[in-house]
Amino acid sequence: MNVYVINSESYLLENEYINDIIKDSKNIATFDLSIDTLDNVILEAGYFSMFGEVKYIIVRNANFFGSQKLNDKDTEILLNYLNQPNNLSVLIFICNEKVDTRKKVTKIIKDKYTLKVIPNLKFYEIENRLKSFFAKRNFTIDDEAIKYIVSNNSNNYDLAMNEAQKIILYYDNPGFISYEDVMNISAKTINTNNFLFVDAVVDNDLETSLNLFKDLKIMKVEPSVLISLLARDFRIMLNLKLLQKEGKREYAMMNELGLMDWQLEKYLKKIFPYKIKELESIMVKLSKLDLDIKSGKIDRFMGLELFILDICA
């Protein structure tokens, strides 16, 4: 099989499956359809290696296998390739939405290639994987501590593994991990991560913004919540800039915007690199993004990720 469509709520399970396909190959190309075109993907897949080496092409955000639609041109390009694939190229599409098995392209994948829907792990399966994770690093851990990690992370494998890695970093040397230790090294709350995400975007920290966004996506935080928080911060920053331009003193700014002194100090630091026109432009973009998501013109996660790339790049 040289065309795969992978669907999973877990990034870790998804990547495990991809690694099983790729093995030790270094001949890998990666595309993201939120910023790349399907035409470029198919062109890459059609190229033949001079040395007859198999090439693996990973295509993320291939959500046209879900709710999104391909235009007629891209549909024709993809169907033509699926009918006559390059045997030296392995295409690996990753769909982050529920796969629509009624679509023609999906039916062809099911009939001729591989459609892999990876189910979420059960509670005991996550427990076993965590035990193995700690054991490989010469740690022993309370059974109750394992159960706490899994349940405290909403039975989510990716979040539980992320927590396990944080716990390992807490120790200088391998040893015993108690239930009390795990309680003390518990993960940050979703609300904390929400505000850390907003701060990272405002500070133009692209890497941190995308990493936190990935975590929040795993936690199933709705982009509408994050858009609202971003709009609130940028609105305050814009109003502060306008008040500064009017020559208002700090106490007047606090009274007019309903800020505490420590909040004013924080926002005054944030607005320093921005100009009024930049903040106005960002507010317009956030408003348009919110409207496009609500009207179904763009996927909510993809839309917010594109906004992050636009603002922080």
Range in 29-43, 77-91, 212-226 the model is least confident about: 212-226
Co-location of 160 and 205 in the same domain? no
CATH number at residue 140: 1.10.8
In which order are the strands placed within the sheet that holds 28-32?
A: 28-32, 55-60, 89-95, 3-8, 114-118
The pTM (predicted TM-score) of the whole model is: 0.62
**29: Cβ–Cβ under 8 A, 6 or more apart, which residues?**
44, 55, 56, 57, 58
Residue 311 pLDDT greater than 80, yes or no: yes
128-144 per-position pLDDT tens digit: 999 999 999 999 998 99
Residue 51 pLDDT greater than 80, yes or no: no
The total number of structural domains that make up the chain? 3
Co-location of 71 and 148 in the same domain? no
Structural domain ending residue among the three candidates 118, 135, 169: 118
Co-location of 236 and 222 in the same domain? yes
Co-location of 176 and 266 in the same domain? no
Co-location of 49 and 71 in the same domain? yes
Co-location of 180 and 197 in the same domain? no
Degrees to nearest 5, angle at CA 275 with 229 and 268: 60
Q: How confident is the model at residue 195 (pLDDT cuts 50, 70, 90)?
A: confident
Co-location of 105 and 179 in the same domain? no
Co-location of 273 and 287 in the same domain? yes
Residue 277 pLDDT greater than 90, yes or no: yes
Question: Domain span at residue 233?
Answer: 190-312
According to the model, what pLDDT value does residue 163 have?
85
Co-location of 242 and 299 in the same domain? yes
Q: How much of the chain, in percent, has pLDDT values that exceed 90?
A: 49
Across the chain, mean pLDDT equals: 88
- Region 213-234 average pLDDT: 85
Co-location of 196 and 306 in the same domain? yes
Co-location of 196 and 296 in the same domain? yes
According to the model, what pLDDT value does residue 181 have?
83
Co-location of 308 and 205 in the same domain? yes
CATH number at residue 103: 3.40.50.300
Biggest CA-to-CA distance, the chain: 71
According to the model, what pLDDT value does residue 73 have?
93
CATH number at residue 204: 1.20.272.10
